[in-house]
Amino acid sequence: MKYNKLIPEEERIIVNKGTEAPFSGEYNDFFKKGIYVCRRCENPLYTSEAKFKSGCGWPSFDDEIKGSVKRILEADGTRTEIVCAKCGGHLGHVFEGEKLTKKNLRHCVNSLSIKFQKKDEEKK
């Protein structure tokens, strides 16, 4: 599989499962219409309709594009990691039961793990 070239900070997060500082990412307060794709492999992950302002400091989504995100329970059982289903790149974590949206789900995603595409740029 061919991957996009990553800068060191993107690699630290996507490949080495790091986390960017809260409120530092370009997509935290970003609400344009389009889709968010994996920065590493460009797999479509989230739509702008699923994005919401959670106040947590990272982009938040209450749903993923079907089949695009894989959940992995961390070894200590305290959190569930989310990764791109296509390339396995680290996206962040998913939380349930916070009652922030009707779906009661929050994908807490690192901005450096995703890339925004306007609606007209979506890949068919």
* Sign of the torsion formed by the C-alpha atoms of 42, 107, 25 and 87: negative
Q: Please provide the DSSP assignment of 57-85 as one string.
A: SS-EES---TTSEEEEE-TTSS-EEEEET
- Among 38, 84, 87, 108, which one carries the catalytic annotation? 108
Q: Active site includes 108? A: yes
CB 69 within 8 A of CB 84: yes
Q: Which residues are catalytic?
A: 108
